[in-house]
């Protein structure tokens, strides 16, 4: 289940970046920057769960056990 949630979050982050580019081209700078910021926050949260720590264990793997 966790893998599915992380996958959806990555897809949402990609969609937000695409949407931010579209808003930027239309001149809606504030909305575009907020969408890009949200995409970065989501990507950061996914990275926290997926990137291994100093022991080489990713939090998502320890959660699945």
Rounded Cα distance, 6 and 25, in Å: 29
Q: So where are the chain's domains?
A: 2-51
State the Cα–Cα distance between residues 21 and 17, nearest whole angstrom.
Answer: 6
Instruction: Give me 50's structure tokens.
Output: 């997926």
Of the pLDDT bands very low, low, confident and very high (cuts 50, 70, 90), residue 56 is confident
* pLDDT above 70 (res 8): yes
- How much is the pLDDT for 62? 64
Report pLDDT for 65: 58
Residue 19 CA to residue 35 CA, distance in Å, equals 7
Model confidence at 64, pLDDT cuts 50, 70, 90, reads low
């Amino acid at each position: 289940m966790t893998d599915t949630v992380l996958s959806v979050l990555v897809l949402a982050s990609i969609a937000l970046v695409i949407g931010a580019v579209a808003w930027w081209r239309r001149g809606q700078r504030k909305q575009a920057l907020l969408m890009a910021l949200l995409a970065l926050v989501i990507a950061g949260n996914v990275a926290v769960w997926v990137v291994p720590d100093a022991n080489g264990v990713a939090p998502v793997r320890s959660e699945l056990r």
